[in-house]
Structure 1
Amino acid sequence: MQESTCGWLQGTSGIGLAVTPLRMEQMNLSSILTNFTPDTLTTHSWGRLKAALSLHKKTTGMCLQQASYDEDISDAEKVYQECQQSGPLSFSDCIPPARMKHCSKIGEGTFGEVFSTINASNETVALKIIPVEGSQQVNGEQQKTFGEILHEIIISKELSCLNMKEINKTDGFIGLNNLHCVRGHYPEALLKAWDKFDRQKGSENDRPDFFDDEQLFLILEFEFGGSDLENINGKLSSLVQAKSVLHQVTAALAVAEQALCFEHRDLHWGNILVKNIKHKHNEFILNGTVHSIETRGVHVNIIDYSLSRLEIDGLTVSCDISNDEELFMGQGDYQFEIYRLMKKENNNCWSTYNPHSNVLWLHYLAEKLLSMNYKNKAQTNQQRTLKSALKSFQAEILSYPSATEALRNGRFFQ
């Protein structure tokens, strides 16, 4: 699959992402942007405008506050504002030597690498490192621009912030801890970690040793989210855990639909992280009502929003992939058919809101969960009943207009 018009880092493989979200309050931009309408704001202009108007400042235990700035600033300055920097840092400023030595490569995508390390609180986190604004191709593709990377920054912050809300709340999206923009060649410690991953698992990426001292990178620090669903095939205990995974994903999508008119648009099983937990129930809030899900020992985090779409105060951020012909030509997995179905349903107009796209991905997920292997292979009455119920869910899910309606009315979740 190739880069879309907006660009994206494909879902990571191996262990997933990483620990305490950098949260952001939703912005009240309506009074400021009275001369703009959603139809006139493309992904790029909306991201530029919003970033120009917001400088996020950390506050303990709260979403980030914002301040207004001149609109006529460069994309680079907007990214630096999102990172709370006046200019690029060095790698050692961002990842001190004590943390650098703990770095292990845990995944990769078309436009970057993912490493795990520990933070100042000795918690495991994941670092997604994306080269930006350079002239050299990376893994056969052009590097992202600052303007393009704003899309991912903004959506990551908004979804991470849903864990702090009161009316529509979920912790089903990966928590974003911090952002940094750095300049310099790739550190030797990270290259050693890259080599180890390549020896053990094999990398499809170029070894990132060709960058010079002027190369810029965006580093997104995420909470540790576990391993992606594709890589834990055969490691879930049974369909009991699979049901919880499906329930948690559906609930997260429903909350984001209600809060942000959100569509993920790329929710293949590499973008669903699962980790083991001890607590038995997970709560979410949908339109002011608290609900509880039986975790069955697993917690789910959704990642990678490079194709995603959402709204804030009536303003839309979306990725226009209408001319990305290769994206719609993929074969060999139901995932590629979903891209074509989304295009058919929205008439190749990617700014409009069509929550049925989330339903398409839930149908895909149900198929994957039915085809996966599980540790417990015993065909008990419970397992047979669950498998039958999951097949019924798969048969009926496409009739719902949104994940919200599937969650409310699907018999599988009652």
Structure 2
Amino acid sequence: MKQINYINCSNYIRLVGAKVISEKYLRVSEEDKDDPLDGEKEKEEEKIPKLVLLLTKGGEEFENFMIKSKDELISIVIQVAATMAMGEEMLELEHRDAHVSNILIEKTNEEDLEYYIGGKKIIVKSNKILIKMIDFGKSRIRNGTELVYCDDWDIESNEPNETEEHGDLHYKIYPRMNEIIGGNWKNYFPETNVLWIRYLIQILSRFDGSGLASEDPGTQAFQKAEESNKKQLAPEDGKEVAEKFFDAIKNCKTAGEFVFQLYEDSYFHYILKKV
């Protein structure tokens, strides 16, 4: 993960330090607190080496963040795409697991965010929001001659080692990635980043690529807002933005291509500009 620190982009979480330990650790899972066997599990887990990572502060998960305006939605999606695009250029980086719990969000006083993509300086209006990409456990990264990637997949059957019982939208992305990759997780396939951007557009706008309301239940924040009638992104705004995004991304093979497609559309010029 240390290679991520070399990307000159404030949207990537930074690694401060790392250590392998074989000791007790603080259990924070709500699922375990009432488990009568929890004590025995803890004793067994003492024997298992654990990798402890010290990271910079990143904010809260997208899962728990309620988008209230189309400007917020547009800025968030463009930030994610531009962040991925910089990773593509510098490290041939594919995140491969960019669901809403692996992207954090925090408030920022920076009005404009800068990105360098394809030799061009790109400015994105933040709308007081800064996203942070985290969890590169399934990612594919190249740094010079060094190549790091996750091979946690059943290559023979071309199926990911993910249970198919989950109904969340992001579990549908893994087999779609494998259709592109064909079981070869070592090579560079930046189109996987495009799949995750499409996923993000759908889950945050609540509309799919056909212009229909998404069947996915949405983020936890969205579900809670529905139950309590709290303010949220207006459906007509979500649909409008989703249509624009999906039209721009339909032929893209990389996150960088998507960013430049957005730049060509005057609809996004008040948030995205090229210097």
TM bin, normalised by shorter chain, reads 0.7 to 0.9
1:258 partner SS: helix
Cα deviations by residue, 1:110-146 (Å, 9 ceiling, x for unpaired): xxxxxxxxxxxxxxxxxxxxxxxxxxxxxxxxxxxxx
Partner of 1:345: 180
Partner of 2:42: 209
Kept after mapping to 1: 8 A contact 2:248/2:261: no
Query: Does 2:112 align with 1:281?
Result: yes
Cα deviations by residue, 1:288-339 (Å, 9 ceiling, x for unpaired): 4322111111110011111111212244322224416542745523312211
Q: How does 1:33-112 map to 2 (within 5 A)?
A: none
- Correspondence for 1:310 among 141, 148, 166: 141
Q: How does 1:230-379 map to 2 (within 5 A)?
A: 230-232=63-65, 235-323=66-154, 325-327=160-162, 329=164, 331-371=166-206, 373=222, 376-377=231-232
Equivalent-residue separation in structure 2 for 1:212 and 1:311 (angstroms): 33
Partner of 1:181: 20
- Correspondence for 1:198 among 15, 25, 30: 30
Partner of 2:6: 161
CA offset at residue 284 of structure 1?
Answer: 1.8
CA offset at residue 353 of structure 1?
Answer: 1.1
Distance of aligned partners of 1:211 and 1:405 in 2 relative to their CA distance in 1, 3 Å threshold: same
Equivalent-residue separation in structure 1 for 2:42 and 2:153 (angstroms): 34
- Correspondence for 1:229 among 62, 65, 69: 62
Cα deviations by residue, 1:201-224 (Å, 9 ceiling, x for unpaired): 999x95773257765432101111
Amino acid at match of 1:224: K
Distance of aligned partners of 1:328 and 1:345 in 2 relative to their CA distance in 1, 3 Å threshold: farther
- Could you say which structure has the larger radius of gyration? 1
Query: Does 2:64 align with 1:219?
Result: no
Amino acid at match of 1:394: F
2:240 partner SS: helix
User: Aligned Cα RMSD in Å?
Assistant: 2.9
Cα deviations by residue, 1:16-70 (Å, 9 ceiling, x for unpaired): xxxxxxxxxxxxxxxxxxxxxxxxxxxxxxxxxxxxxxxxxxxxxxxxxxxxxxx
Kept after mapping to 1: 8 A contact 2:107/2:130: yes
Distance of aligned partners of 1:335 and 1:289 in 2 relative to their CA distance in 1, 3 Å threshold: same
Where do 5+ consecutive residues of structure 1 fail to align?
1-155, 164-169
Where do 5+ consecutive residues of structure 2 fail to align?
207-217, 270-275
1:341 partner SS: helix
Equivalent-residue separation in structure 1 for 2:171 and 2:247 (angstroms): 20
Distance of aligned partners of 1:289 and 1:340 in 2 relative to their CA distance in 1, 3 Å threshold: same
Kept after mapping to 1: 8 A contact 2:68/2:233: no
Equivalent-residue separation in structure 2 for 1:270 and 1:161 (angstroms): 23
CA offset at residue 340 of structure 1?
Answer: 0.9
Cα deviations by residue, 1:170-218 (Å, 9 ceiling, x for unpaired): 12111111112334333xxx35xx3xx639x999x95773257765432
Kept after mapping to 1: 8 A contact 2:60/2:104: yes
Equivalent-residue separation in structure 2 for 1:202 and 1:397 (angstroms): 46
Equivalent-residue separation in structure 2 for 1:209 and 1:331 (angstroms): 27
Amino acid at match of 1:401: K
Kept after mapping to 1: 8 A contact 2:97/2:139: yes
Equivalent-residue separation in structure 2 for 1:400 and 1:212 (angstroms): 45
Partner of 1:105: none
Distance of aligned partners of 1:336 and 1:268 in 2 relative to their CA distance in 1, 3 Å threshold: same
Kept after mapping to 2: 8 A contact 1:363/1:398: no
Kept after mapping to 2: 8 A contact 1:176/1:221: yes
- Correspondence for 1:171 among 3, 6, 10: 10
Kept after mapping to 1: 8 A contact 2:138/2:149: yes
